[in-house]
């Protein structure tokens, strides 16, 4: 009896093309503009600077937010390779700055906390370089309309970006609220300890005062002789 070999199923060209498009969408969705996310601790009366070498004609975006410390504000400025300040803000809680580079070289962005003398800050920033590549090849130069699968890929990609942005936003809000709750808890604890000490002092004072009212005074020796 002949042993049957492997069965091959013919796949229509449309299905193969759809699968290739889907795989390409998934691969491109994993790629994006280069960027850096970092959370740093900024001591009081200190400044932290970061440097990034960029080509000319490239877009970069800087988003930052103070998570905890003081009044949740920080100074920030950005300089180009020629030392020119292209962005500067003082005592900002959060902000976003986008710029297209005009010169090739090292760009510097700094966070300052010099105006604070006793409170340190925790700052989150996201530094994105370049534009995001299109989800589909030649998407901007296409003449024909997108297929149903391609439209679904684009929609899913946009929704995933929105989900990532929302998660980052809520994560920062959660960290900020947790810092405020811990600060409030510390204040309540110190106030409770102070109230306890005051109660002890007042209680001891009242006991001593009442004891002095009921203490029997002995007559002096001169009156006893007369």
Say whether pLDDT at 225 is over 70. Answer: no
The two tokens of residue 122 are: 């925790």
Residue 24, pLDDT score: 42
Superfamily of domain 36-131: GOLD domain (2.60.120.680)
Residue 9, pLDDT score: 37
The C-alpha atoms of residue 15 and residue 46 are separated, in whole angstroms, by 60
Say whether pLDDT at 103 is over 50. Answer: yes
Percent of the chain at pLDDT > 90 equals: 27
Residue 26, pLDDT score: 44
pLDDT confidence tier of residue 144, bands split at 50, 70 and 90:
low
The C-alpha atoms of residue 123 and residue 42 are separated, in whole angstroms, by 7
Q: How many CB atoms lie within 10 A of CB 60?
A: 21
Give the residue extent of every domain in the chain: 36-131, 133-211
Q: Each residue of 17-51: pLDDT tens digit?
A: 444 444 444 444 444 455 688 888 898 889 999 99
| Coil vs helix vs strand at 152 | helix
Contact in structure between 99 and 34 (CB atoms under 8 Å): no
Q: Considering only residues 157 and 18, tell me which one the structure prediction assigns the higher pLDDT.
A: 157
Q: Considering only residues 137 and 14, tell me which one the structure prediction assigns the higher pLDDT.
A: 137
Instruction: Tokens 């405020």: give the residue.
Output: 180
By DSSP bridging, strand 74-79 and strand 121-129 are: unpaired
Q: Is the pTM of this model over 0.85?
A: no
Q: Considering only residues 128 and 34, tell me which one the structure prediction assigns the higher pLDDT.
A: 128
Contact in structure between 7 and 76 (CB atoms under 8 Å): no
| Coil vs helix vs strand at 104 | coil
Give the lowest-confidence range in 18-27, 146-155, 161-170.
18-27
pLDDT confidence tier of residue 7, bands split at 50, 70 and 90:
very low
Q: Each residue of 182-220: pLDDT tens digit?
A: 888 888 999 999 999 999 999 999 888 888 877 766 666
Percent of the chain at pLDDT > 70 equals: 73
The C-alpha atoms of residue 150 and residue 44 are separated, in whole angstroms, by 52
Please report the sign of the dihedral spanned by the C-alpha atoms of residue 185, residue 187, residue 191, residue 197: positive
Supply angle C-alpha 168, 113, 123, rounded to 5.
10
Residue 153, pLDDT score: 77
């Amino acid at each position: 009896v002949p042993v049957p070999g492997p069965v091959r199923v013919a796949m229509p060209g449309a299905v193969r093309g759809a699968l290739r498009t889907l795989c390409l969408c998934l691969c491109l969705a994993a790629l994006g503009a280069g960027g850096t996310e970092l959370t740093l601790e900024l001591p009081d009366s200190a400044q932290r600077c970061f440097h990034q070498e960029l080509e000319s004609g490239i877009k970069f975006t800087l988003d930052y937010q103070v998570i905890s410390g003081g009044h949740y504000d920080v100074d920030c400025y950005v300089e180009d390779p020629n030392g020119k300040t292209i962005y500067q803000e003082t005592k900002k809680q959060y902000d976003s700055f986008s710029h297209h580079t005009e010169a090739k070289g090292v760009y510097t962005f700094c966070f300052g906390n010099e105006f604070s003398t006793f409170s340190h800050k925790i700052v989150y920033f996201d530094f994105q370089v370049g534009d995001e590549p299109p989800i589909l090849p030649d998407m901007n130069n296409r003449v024909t309309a997108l297929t149903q699968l391609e439209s679904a890929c684009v929609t899913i990609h946009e929704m995933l970006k929105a989900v990532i942005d929302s998660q980052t936003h809520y994560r920062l809000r959660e960290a900020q609220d947790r810092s405020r709750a811990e600060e409030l808890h510390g204040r309540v604890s110190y106030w409770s300890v102070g109230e306890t000490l005051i109660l002890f002092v007042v209680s001891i004072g009242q006991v001593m005062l009442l004891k002095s009212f009921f203490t029997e005074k002995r007559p002096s020796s001169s009156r006893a002789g007369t």
